[in-house]
Amino acid sequence: MKIFKYSFIAVLFVINIECVFSQQLIISQEEKDEIISYLDSVDYRGALNTITEYKISEAREKIEQVYWNSKFD
């Protein structure tokens, strides 16, 4: 469970830092929404990697939601 917690914290940190210091890759809003929806799947690590790769800052809220919901499961 600690690894899960630290993974989410690290991803949030990376997303925030990369959004400040670099330009986001150009992808459509539909593609962003689809990638964010992958956080509901069992393979959330793949979604986290993709979110980090494409610097999707809109995913922050969903990442926090998934983290807090999984913490109490």
Judged by DSSP in three states, 9 sits in helix
CA dist 12 and 48 (Å) reads 10
pLDDT band at 20 (very low <50, low <70, confident <90, very high): low
| pLDDT surpassing 70 at residue 71 | no
Distance between CA 69 and CA 55 in Å, rounded? Answer: 23
Number of domains in the chain: 1
Residue owning tokens 């991803």: 11
Res 70 pLDDT > 70: yes
- Give residue 57's domain range: 2-20+27-71
Answer yes or no: is pLDDT of 18 > 80: no
pLDDT greater at residue 32 or residue 24: 32
* Interval 3-14 mean pLDDT: 75
- For residue 41, the model assigns a pLDDT of 81
